[in-house]
Amino acid sequence: MLAKRIIPCLDIKDGQTVKGINFLELRNVGDPVELGRRYAEEGADELVYLDISATLEGRKTFAELVKRIAENINIPFTVGGGIASVDDAGPLLLAGADKVTVNSAAVRNPQLISDLAEKYGSQFVVVAIDAKRIDGRWTVTTHGGHRPTERELFTWAKEAQERGAGEILFTSMDHDGTKSGYPIETFARLSDELSIPIVASGGAGNSDHIVEVLSAGKADAALAASIFHYGEIRIGDLKQQLRGQGISVR
């Protein structure tokens, strides 16, 4: 069995790490390079940086930040936010990012997944999916969970895999921010139906939730933000607990 991964997520605005609720009431939680270095030292396996104010002007600034991250941090990291074309992804990968993540743009234009995978390889492409249960169906949403689409979670995840996605990052918008745990059966089904890794996001309120989604939920990795930023869970302690539960971690 492959070792499970722990992945802190850092939202970036104006060059700083921020955290809020649905991108409102944003608070500065630290320098993204220093925070990333700290997480790496604590035992994080990877990092995700999301440019939440991805304007054209910000794209250049973000690429410069990505270069600084690559020069200072010795673990893999993924970047995303507003990537809508192969040309958007290129500068970020050239600056040193290990992977890029696409979400709303891929829903609008699924060919984007194919184009990115063809040019850079599937291992560089993470497809993020935000979905919520509407009338008993997992409906894919865009714009931070506010806009339902016609797409359904499992069929869209399979299409993303077929088009060349190397990983699926799934967030349940029903659980995101609640700190009440993950939809375990949904993650388990995703893992059973797909052959690529599944990253769990949204819903973690304590280390037991992460243990559950990596075991019963069969997720390959757990991604979180607030619980790491505010010191509610220490990565070293979390990994020790995972090992104690018989879960393989790096």
Catalytically active residues are 11, 130
Cα separation, 171 vs 161, in Å, equals 17
Q: Which residue has the tokens 């979905």?
A: 131
Which residue blocks in the chain are alpha helix, DSSP H?
A: 32-42, 56-72, 86-94, 104-108, 111-120, 153-163, 184-193, 207-215, 226-229, 235-244
Q: Please report how many Cα atoms fall inside a 13 Å half-sphere around the Cα of residue 128, on the Cβ side.
A: 29
- Phi and psi at 100, nearest 5°, equal -120, 150
Question: CB count, 10 Å around CB of 72?
Answer: 13
